[in-house]
C-alpha cells in the first residue's frame, strides 16, 4: 500500500547511520521484521527495515535507521529526500508498506528418557 508521510525528524546516529522518523497519513499495521519501500520514482523503490516496534504509537510513527555514506548514493539519496521533505514541511515522502514475511516457524521436540 502506497502511503504519503510527513518526515518529522532526520538525525545522525553515527557518521554513516541516520535515524528518520515518519508520520504516515494513515496508520501502518506491520510486524517486527518487516520492511518498507521508499518510493523514489515510479520504478525506483528502495527497501529499508522498519526499526520501530509495531506497537509504537499504533503505527502512527515509523522509525528507520539507514546506513548511508556519501559514496553510497542508493541509501544517501533517500536520506536527502527525507531531509528535503522535512524542510518543505509537507507529506510528500512516499512509502510502500509493509513488506516481507515476519512470521517464524519453529518446531521443538522434547524427548523424556
48 within domain boundaries: yes
Evaluate whether residue 103 is within a structural domain: no
SS in 3 state form for 20-63?
A: EEEEECCCCCCCCCCEEEEEEECCEEEEEEECCCCCHHHHCCEE
Domain count, the chain: 1
Residue 106, in any domain of the structure: no
- Is residue 63 in a domain? yes
- pLDDT, one tens digit per residue, over 15-66 is 999 999 999 999 999 999 999 999 999 999 999 999 999 988 888 999 999 9
pLDDT digits (tens, 9 = 90+) for 75-113: 999 999 999 999 999 999 999 999 998 665 544 455 454
Q: Name the helix (H) or strand (E) containing 70.
A: none
State the CATH number of the domain containing residue 29.
Answer: 2.40.30.10
Answer whether residue 100 is part of any domain: no
From residue 3, how far is each of 11, 38, 54, 80, 97 by CA, in Å?
A: 22, 10, 17, 19, 8
pLDDT value for 81: 98
Q: Give the structural domain span for 16.
A: 2-94
Amino acid at each position: 500500500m502506497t502511503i504519503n508521510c510527513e518526515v518529522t525528524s532526520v538525525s545522525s546516529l553515527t557518521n554513516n547511520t541516520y535515524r528518520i522518523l515518519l508520520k504516515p497519513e494513515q496508520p501502518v499495521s506491520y510486524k517486527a521484521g518487516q520492511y518498507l519501500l521508499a518510493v523514489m520514482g515510479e520504478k525506483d523503490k528502495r527497501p529499508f527495515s522498519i526499526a520501530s516496534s509495531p506497537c509504537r504509537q499504533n503505527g502512527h510513527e515509523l522509525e528507520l535507521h539507514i546506513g548511508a555514506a556519501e559514496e553510497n548514493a542508493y541509501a544517501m539519496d533517500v536520506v536527502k529526500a527525507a531531509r528535503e521533505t522535512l524542510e518543505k514541511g509537507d507529506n510528500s515522502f512516499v512509502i510502500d508498506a509493509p513488506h516481507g514475511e515476519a512470521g517464524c516457524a519453529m518446531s521443538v521436540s522434547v524427548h523424556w528418557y
